[in-house]
Structure 1
Amino acid sequence: MTTSPPPSPDITPLIAIMARLRDPERGCSWDVQQSFETIAPYTIEEAYEVADAIERKDMAGLCDELGDLLLQTIFHARMAEEAGHFAFQDVIDAICAKMIRRHPHIFGEGEETPGWEAIKAAERTARKDGDGSALAGVASALPALLRAEKLQKRAARTGFDWPDSEGVIAKIGEELEEVRAAASAPEREEEIGDLLFAVVNLARHMKVDPEQALRQANRKFERRFRSMEAQAGEDFAALSLDAKEELWQKAKGKERAGASG
């Protein structure tokens, strides 16, 4: 006895809702006025909210945020269809073709095949823009920390990289001295950027995800700062810096005691 495959999810209601919202005569005035450029920040924000729900292990929230992120895809596809570029079905067809193309060992004949990165590199070379750089395709709209890491990884594949982390640590010291020596606001901005880029390089060499490391540092700072506020009550802002430092040390001590308990 054979079983029938489960029914495919029906996305047509969502597509129809977006088409109605974008209708110039009967739609929502806000939705009608939007463009790729105005919607892009919302798309990025929704992706971060998906990541936040995952980090909080909030599965109900994740379901909701994934819907919001899917809506962003539908929104962009609808605007593209209105302009005659492509439709949502083209988005589906393109990603299906890409996943099959990048997994020939799964969907092909099982012969020895180039790796994922080699296939992606061949795709970049074949693009109409003709950009054959090893850095081609690293989106400029990525968060700066993530983009720095991706640019460094791409460069490293060509052999342009420090042989070990000691060279990167020395580079960080050099960049820090250049920050100290900077004499103007533009110079300081440039040198601090170089310093941050070098720190990302160190994280990469030490196989640490810099984004995750910074997120953890943010959470730790927020947790300790909130503990300081709780200890001081409403008078926190009026305390001297020395008093605040004492509260900070107490917050650290409590945290460490809790971790070892």
Structure 2
Amino acid sequence: MPITAPITAATPSGAFERLLTIMDDLRTNCPWDKKQTLESLRHLTIEETYELSDAILGGDMQEIKKELGDIMLHLVFYSRIASETEDFNITDVLNGICDKLINRHPHIYSDTEVSDENDVKRNWEQIKLKEGNRSVLGGVPVSLPALVKASRIQEKARGVGFDWENKEQVWAKVEEELQEFKDEYNVIGEEKVDHEKAENEFGDLLFSLINFARFININPEDALEKTNRKFIKRFQYLEDKAAENGKKLHDMNLAEMDVFWEEAKKK
């Protein structure tokens, strides 16, 4: 006998209860859902998060809505699995995040006064230390991609006042790191490069550029991804135009390819 599907709800609480009911049905009756563990879902959750990121960068609101639903399912799934071992359940998860938000917003739920968002961030980091974090940087996930991690490290350091005073100072640091990289890499000379030192200097240069981006309110991850997409679009135009002319890229010289590349930039 098929199970009667819960009907569409008209309220947030009703819709969430509907999802919980469906999750219970799937976990009890679906062979695939019954097999899943926290570990088996992990890589799928990462994939869903990147799909949400793609939808946001693409500005596709309907796709964003769909991907948010997929992630919501995963959150409910994890909670359902944990409830089976009596470690925690969805109620614990929701109350936990509510309690944390209340505690970390004393300017809303208590008498703490703030003047701007920087005060809010500073209070947030100080409260986290009181909660048991041994380091301001302790909350930065080890497995974050390096570009994102650099941004988060810098934001958290800024939250406790460890930061440059103005963007001119940061740009001076960028120029300093660029010169150190050029010196180590021997851009003009033919001397053998010390790869390890050059790599270190390049890392310092990237870190300083990310820092400058923060000062002028540019998200470096978003900026780089947009450039990636722009390059892909132009390169695929180059491939298409080559094919239209009966050529393959590896048979063309750079000057021939550059003609189509310049056309692509005008599209």
Identify whether the pair has TM-score above 0.5, normalized to the shorter chain: yes
Query: What's the TM-score bracket when you normalise by the shorter of the two chains?
Result: 0.7 to 0.9
Counterpart in the other structure of 1:258: none
Match of 2:222 among 208, 212, 227: 212
Q: Counterpart of 1:84 in 2: which secondary structure?
A: coil
Listed as ranges, the gaps of 5+ residues in structure 1 are 1-5, 256-261
Query: In 1, Cα distance between the equivalents of 2:214 and 2:21?
Result: 45
Match of 2:62 among 51, 60, 63: 60
Letter in 1 for 2:85: A
Query: In 2, Cα distance between the equivalents of 1:7 and 1:135?
Result: 35
Counterpart in the other structure of 1:242: 255
Q: Report if the CA contact (8 A) 2:157-2:163 is conserved.
A: yes
- 1:151 is displaced (CA, Å) by 0.6
Q: Report if the CA contact (8 A) 1:124-1:137 is conserved.
A: no
Question: Percent identical across equivalent pairs?
Answer: 35
Q: Counterpart of 1:139 in 2: which secondary structure?
A: coil
Structure 1 pair 178/40, CA: closer, same or farther in 2 (3 Å)?
A: farther
- 1:182 is displaced (CA, Å) by 4.8
Listed as ranges, the gaps of 5+ residues in structure 2 are 1-10, 187-191
Structure 1 pair 187/164, CA: closer, same or farther in 2 (3 Å)?
A: closer
- 1:179 is displaced (CA, Å) by 5.0
Counterpart in the other structure of 1:9: 14
How many residues are paired up? 243
Match of 1:150 among 149, 152, 161: 152
Q: Report if the CA contact (8 A) 1:172-1:198 is conserved.
A: no
Query: In 2, Cα distance between the equivalents of 1:198 and 1:7?
Result: 44
Structure 1 pair 111/240, CA: closer, same or farther in 2 (3 Å)?
A: closer
Query: In 2, Cα distance between the equivalents of 1:175 and 1:131?
Result: 35
After alignment, is 62-71 or 196-205 more displaced?
196-205
Counterpart in the other structure of 2:213: 203
CA RMSD of the aligned region, Å?
3.1
Structure 1 pair 75/102, CA: closer, same or farther in 2 (3 Å)?
A: same
What is the 5 A alignment of 1:40-55?
A: 40-55=42-57
After alignment, is 149-158 or 64-73 more displaced?
149-158
Higher relative CO (Cα under 8 Å, sequence separation at least 6) belongs to: 2
After alignment, is 209-218 or 113-122 more displaced?
113-122
- 1:183 is displaced (CA, Å) by 4.2
Answering whether residue 123 of structure 2 is matched by residue 119 of structure 1, we say: yes
Q: Report if the CA contact (8 A) 2:184-2:194 is conserved.
A: no
Counterpart in the other structure of 1:77: 79
Q: With structure 1 as the length reference, what TM-score do the two structures score?
A: 0.77
Counterpart in the other structure of 2:176: 170
Letter in 1 for 2:173: G
Counterpart in the other structure of 2:6: none
- 1:194 is displaced (CA, Å) by 4.0
Answering whether residue 165 of structure 2 is matched by residue 159 of structure 1, we say: no
